[in-house]
Every structure is written in C-alpha cells, then in structure tokens.
C-alpha cells in the first residue's frame, strides 16, 4: 500500500513474474482486512497464489498464512527498519555490529544469519539488559539501550519470514517488494504533474496507470 499524505492510500496486489497488477483499491488505512478482501477476490477469480512478499505491516502475514500461503518479508524494508532504530552510523559497538549483520541479509543463508544473530546476542546480552534509573516511570527504571533492543527484536520476530524465498526455490519468490515499489514511484511521479486533482479524478488516473492503459 502506498499513501498520499496520511489519509489516502491505494492497496495493490502485483505479480512480479507476470509484471502485472492484479487488484487494487482505495483505502484510508492499511489494515489486515483490506489485504484479506484482496486475497479473497483473487482466489474467487481463480488465481493460484503460491507466496506473497510483504513489507511487514502488523497482522498482514497471518492473513495469508491462514490460507496456507508462504510469506516472505521484504529484506529491503527490514534493513530500513534497522536503520531507523540504529541510524546509518551507530555509535555503540553492539549497534554497529547489528547493522553490519543486517546488511548481510541479501547474501546470507538462513542458517548463517540465524547463527550470526544468536552469536551477536550472546556477545551483547549484558549490554541489552542494562537499565537506567527513571523516577518518572512507574517501575522506576527503563532499558538503557531501547533502540538497539528494538532493532534486535525486529530481526528476531521477522526472522522466520526473511528467508522464505530460499526455502521454496521452485516458486521464484523475490526477496524484496522492489517491483511494486517501482510501480508506486511511477504513479507518484506521473501524478506530481497533476497536483490539485479531486480525489475521484486522482483515483481514476491511478487506475489507468495500474491497468496499463495508455489513454
């Protein structure tokens, strides 16, 4: 899903192998229910969905996994999430090592990455568990390195879906959502020269782009 501002977005299902947009819809929020609506529509229309690549919105993976569909979490978005927590130039040794490890995602096997993440945790678990006195908090303390903890937790939670593409090579699953991100960039670039369009006209133009029409 991509947004214009915070209150208007468009949800798109795209086939990277066919290079074709299969279903789309306006939505003001990115919720699992919108994904579920799209999934049901495609299945009803006779599509066979072997796997999906998502960017990690909470609750979305379960929509597909309940139907027995494999889910790949976009490795590019995972790197962006870690960068958000740690910045591009982290200061602590633990954060530097964790960011460097995250950058190996695209080249690592699942077994290698799991082993390296566990080794990182064993080296830095004392650091992660450091606490600071905070009298304004009800419990009187908080974890000192909360952003590093959040980055590690993100990797740990998403790990089971970061290498789905390696477990099912027969499906040729991409490890990123780049094909859809590129489509979103194309849409926004074309709409940028038509600023001020009414919502209905903007959506009509978006539909034309997504359907591949040239008119």
Interval 158-188: pLDDT, tens: 999 999 999 999 999 999 999 999 999 989 9
Position 195 in a domain:
yes
The domain tally of the chain equals: 1
| pLDDT (0 to 100) of residue 195 | 79
Q: Rounded to an integer, what distance in angstroms lies between the CA atom of residue 127 and that of residue 134? A: 18
Domain that holds residue 29: 1-74+176-215
Position 59 in a domain:
yes
The tens-digit pLDDT sequence of the chain (215 residues) is 999 888 889 999 999 999 999 999 999 989 999 999 999 999 999 999 999 999 978 899 999 999 999 999 999 999 999 999 999 999 999 999 999 999 999 999 999 999 999 999 999 999 999 999 988 777 889 999 999 999 999 999 999 999 999 999 999 999 999 999 999 998 999 888 887 788 899 999 999 999 986 54
Position 67 in a domain:
yes
| pLDDT (0 to 100) of residue 214 | 53
Q: Rounded to an integer, what distance in angstroms lies between the CA atom of residue 63 and that of residue 52? A: 11
Position 112 in a domain:
no
Range 162-190 burial, b when 16+ CB lie within 10 A, else e: bbbbeeeeeeebbbbbeebeebbeebeee
Position 163 in a domain:
no
**Which CATH number is 69's domain given?**
3.30.420.10
- Per-residue pLDDT of 141-152, as tens digits, reads 999 999 999 999
Structure tokens at 207: 């539909």
Sheet holding 8-15, edge to edge: 2-4, 8-15, 20-27
Q: Are 72 and 53 within 8 A, CB to CB? A: yes
Q: Which residues pair with 70 in a beta bridge?
A: 51
Position 108 in a domain:
no
Position 60 in a domain:
yes
Position 166 in a domain:
no
Q: What is the dihedral of CA 10, 16, 18, 20, to 10 degrees?
A: 10
Task: Find the farthest-apart pair of alpha carbons in the chain and give their distance in angstroms, rounded.
Answer: 64
Q: Rounded to an integer, what distance in angstroms lies between the CA atom of residue 149 and that of residue 196? A: 43
Record the pTM. 0.90
Q: Are 208 and 87 within 8 A, CB to CB? A: no
The count of other CB atoms within 10 Å of the CB of residue 35 is: 23
């Amino acid at each position: 899903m991509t947004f214009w501002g915070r209150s208007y977005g468009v949800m798109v299902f795209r086939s990277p192998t066919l290079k074709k947009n299969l279903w789309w819809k306006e939505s003001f929020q990115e919720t699992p229910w919108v994904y579920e609506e799209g999934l049901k529509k495609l299945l009803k229309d006779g599509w066979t969905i072997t796997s999906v690549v998502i960017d990690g919105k909470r609750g979305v993976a379960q929509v597909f996994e309940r139907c027995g569909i494999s889910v790949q979490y976009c490795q590019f978005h995972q790197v962006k999430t870690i960068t958000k927590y740690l910045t591009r130039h982290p200061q602590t040794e633990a954060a530097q090592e964790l960011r460097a490890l995250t950058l190996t995602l695209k080249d690592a096997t699942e077994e290698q990455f799991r082993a390296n993440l566990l080794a990182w945790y064993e080296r830095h678990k004392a650091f992660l568990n450091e606490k600071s006195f905070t009298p304004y908090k009800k419990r009187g303390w908080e974890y000192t390195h909360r952003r590093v903890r959040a980055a590690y937790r993100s990797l740990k939670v998403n790990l089971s879906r970061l290498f789905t593409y390696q477990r099912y090579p027969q499906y040729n699953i991409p490890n990123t959502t780049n094909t859809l991100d590129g489509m979103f960039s194309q849409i926004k670039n074309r709409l940028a020269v038509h600023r001020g369009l009414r919502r209905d006209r903007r959506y009509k133009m978006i539909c034309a782009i997504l359907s591949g029409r040239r008119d």
